[in-house]
Structures are given as C-alpha cells and as structure tokens.
Copies of this chain bind each other. A is one copy, B any other.
Amino acid sequence: MGVGLGYLLAKTDIISTSDHSSVVSINLFIVLLCTCIVIGHLLEENRWMNESITALAIGLCTGIVILLISGGKSSHLLVFSEDLFFIYLLPPIIFNAGFQVKKKQFFSQLHDYHAVRCYWHSDIFCYYILRCYELLQEHEYCNWSDLFSDRFCLHLADTSAVQFSFGEGVVNDATSVVLFNAIQRFDLSHINSSILLQFVGNFLYLFFASTVLGVVAGLLSAYVIKKLYFGRHSTDREVALMMLMAYLSYMLAELFYLSAILTVFFCGIVMSHYTWHNVTESSRVTAKHAFATLSFVCEIFIFLYVGMDAMDIEKWRFVSDSPGTSIRVSSILMGLVLVGRAAFVFPLSFLSNLTKKSPYERIGIKQQVTVWWAGLMRGAVSMALAYNKFTRAGHTKLRGNAIMITSTITVVLFSTVVFGLMTKPLCHFYPNGHDSEPDLASYSVPRPTSLRTLLSTPSHTVHYYWRKFDNAFMRPVFGGRGFVPFVAGSPIEQSVHQLQ
C-alpha cells in the first residue's frame, strides 16, 4: 500500500513529519479507531449495536468536540481525499468482499450474521444517487453530457460489481444485466440510438475487460505460486505476493481506465478459489485474517470519517437555505433504496427458489426479509462514491453537490442507525438460520413445477459443466482444493511454536 503513496507524497514536497498538527491528527484518529474496536467488542453481545453504529456515533461525538474546540470552523480531523478512498481504503474492502464470498453456501448461510454483514457491500445506492443527481440537474443545471462519460460507465460497472456480492453464485450475470436494463429504460426518452449503442458498448467492454483482468491476475498468482511452490521457503513471500498481485490488478485496471472495483472483486474470488489452496496452511490463515483485518479497519475508518463529516457546517449551510429540496432528495433516496433493494431481493430469491428441489434449500420469506433489510444499510462504499462524485478534496461550493452529500449522509446515518439497530433483533426474531419446515410451507410462494424444471435444469447443467471443466482443466493447472500436493506436518503448528 505504501507504493502509491511514495510517489504521491513525494510530488508535493511540502509534507513532513515535522508538521506537528498532522501527527496530532493521526494519533487522535488511531485512538478513535482503537476505541471503536474495543467498544464494538464490548457491545457485540448487545442486540441493538454493531461496529458501524459505534464508529458513526464516536465520529459524531468527535465531530461535535472538534466543532466546539475550533469555534465552529471545522469538524474534521482529516479532509476527504479521493485518493485515500480509491487507492487505499476501497481496494482492501472490495478485495476482501470477493475473497470471503462463500460461493457454495451463500444462501444456506444467511443465518450467519457475518454473511448478513457482507451484504452491505452490495451498494446499488451509488446508482440511485446518480439518478437523483440527474433529476436535480434536469431542474437546475442541465449538465447531461458528462453522465454518459466513461466515468459514469465506471460507476455503473462498479455498482454492478458490488451487486455481485449479493448475486454471486446464484444469479450473478443476471443482476448486472437487470441493472443495465433498468438504467436504459429510465434514460430512453433522453438519448438517441448512437449514444445508446456507445453506452452499451462501453458498459460491455468495461464489464468484460475488468472481469477478465481480475480473473487473469488471480489465475496468474495461482499459477506462479503453484509452480514455484513458495511455501518451501517462506510464508511471508506467499502472502506478500498475493497482496501485491491483488493490488496490482486494481492499479492495472486504473491504468487501463477499467473498473478497478470489479477487477479486484473478481481477483479476490479467483484467489480464494485457486491461489488460497496452493499456499501453506499458515499462509492460508494469515491471508484470510490479514485481508479481513485490513478491510475491517478500512470500514471503521470510513464510518468514523462519515460520522465526523456529518457535523461539517459548510455543507449543511447550503441545506439550511433550501430545507425542502434536501428533505425531498433524502426521502427519494431512502425510498429508492427500499424499493430498489426489494426489486432485487424478492424476485431473485423467487427465481433461486424455483431452481431448488428440496424445500430445505429454499430461501424462506423470513430470510428474504432479513436479506432485504440488512442490505438497506448504506455505508462506507456509498459515502466514498458520493464524495468521489460530488466533491473535490472533500469540499464543494455547488449547492446541488452539497445537498447530494448531506442527503447521502442523512441516508447513511438513518439507514445505519435505524435499520442497523433493527437488524440484530430481526436476526434474533427470525430464529437461527433455516426456517423450520412448517414456516417454509406457510410462507413460501407456490412453485409451478414446469417453470421450476425449466429454470433449474440450465442452472444445474451450467454448474455441472463448470465443475467438470474446472476439475479437468483449471484445477490441474492452477491448483485449488484437492489439487495441491499434501505436505506432511502442519506448518501452523511449527509457526505457532516457533515464536514461543
């Protein structure tokens, strides 16, 4: 991670450790991060709280304190930097989302609270923000041209990328296509066919190029590690190579103007499917937890920042001029999130249920509600995308932009606190995991057998052929579970005892 930094920092020539106020800020921020972790741990048993709400609350309190100390001038320990989010904070979060995706048990593990947590990443919110922005611009600025720029396509691709966290393993392709269709329907009246074609072409190019890049990077790391068998010499080398290759895929996507988020997400999936099985046991443990830890810290960091930013006077000043618009935009966003989430979860669950033969495998209505509800919480990625779209280095002088930011903050705060507070009780209320059979029978929709067969057959066939192809061609080359030579003597035991 320090790589990019070097160049970026160096270019400025004005930054120095001797700048004491920045050292104070860094210290304070680390203390806040530690506090969030400790308080989040203490409140783990609490049925209302979670780490994000804690971080938000601490961020808010800190913002108020800083506001008071600075005499209302600032509520920030740090100013938003696009690079901070897109070069340092987002890659670990998205990569980890891909890396930890449970490919097989995705739906069967809904009872797992951690699985519910990971739905946060399915940030279709970004899309709604952009939609609202368009509506806003229609009324006030009419700056349509840049909406069909590459940047917009990037956002769209990124959006469908994170959608994959939800759809992965069940209906992955469908999601992005649906999303794409949706956006086409909305804008159809405003654009002509050539722009439409260009848009479609752009989207497809970005989508496939990014995916391929991520997959290639993942496969390359798997191949290199399998061929060279790094573990023979050092666990550190394996983990370092995995991290660097993942980050490289992200930066390469940036280099080729692709969707870096999509790339690193697929790189994570491929790495967890192949590379992760090729390394030694201690590397596996290290990689799994190191990636998760990085992602965890980055998320808390963003929530802390959002909490502090919610106290920023500058942006709320615009809002106080036109409270009506602000409330309207926030409500629209909130409604879109509720409806949009439902539009994905329930139909997709229905489709997924059609492919399942046994009633035990099906997603009950309670589970669907849980998935829908838990996904309503907007978080780190939404804020990052909103800041990226609507600010320059955390500041904005445009009224429309300020309102978008404050509305995003409102929705994030509201959804995280209100919906977030309800999620744990909801999970408790809907008993652990699978609905019991009678529940399923009473809640689940009737399934026409013919449609079920129609839908389940291709799905099973595709999966069957993929497994066959994977076992026959991919795994022998790139490794994966069961395709790596077994090493006698657990390296974990050795490495654990080595330090003792």
Contact = CB atoms under 8 A, between A and B. Distances in A.
Contacts of A285: 282, 285-286, 289, 492, 495-496
Contacts of A81: 6, 9-10, 15
A248 B34 contact: yes
Interface string A239-272: 1110111011001101100000000000000001
Contacts of A234: 41
A361 to B, nearest CB: 20
Given A289-B283, A499-B272, A30 B251 contact: yes
Interface of A: 1-17, 20, 22-27, 29-31, 33-34, 37-38, 40-42, 44, 77-84, 86-89, 100, 224, 228, 230, 233-237, 239-241, 243-245, 247-248, 251-252, 254-255, 272, 276-277, 281-286, 288-290, 292-293, 296-298, 301, 305, 392-394, 481, 492, 495-496, 498-500
A302 to B, nearest CB: 10
A81 B4 CA distance: 12
A284 B290 CA distance: 11
A243 B251 CA distance: 25
Contact of A251 (B16, B27, B42, B82): B27
Given A6-B78, A13-B393, A27-B252, 13 more contacts: A1-B1, A2-B88, A2-B298, A4-B22, A6-B301, A7-B77, A9-B83, A27-B255, A235-B292, A240-B297, A244-B297, A285-B495, A288-B499
Given A2-B88, A89-B2, A7 B79 contact: yes
Contacts of A297: 2, 240, 243-244
A77 to B, nearest CB: 7
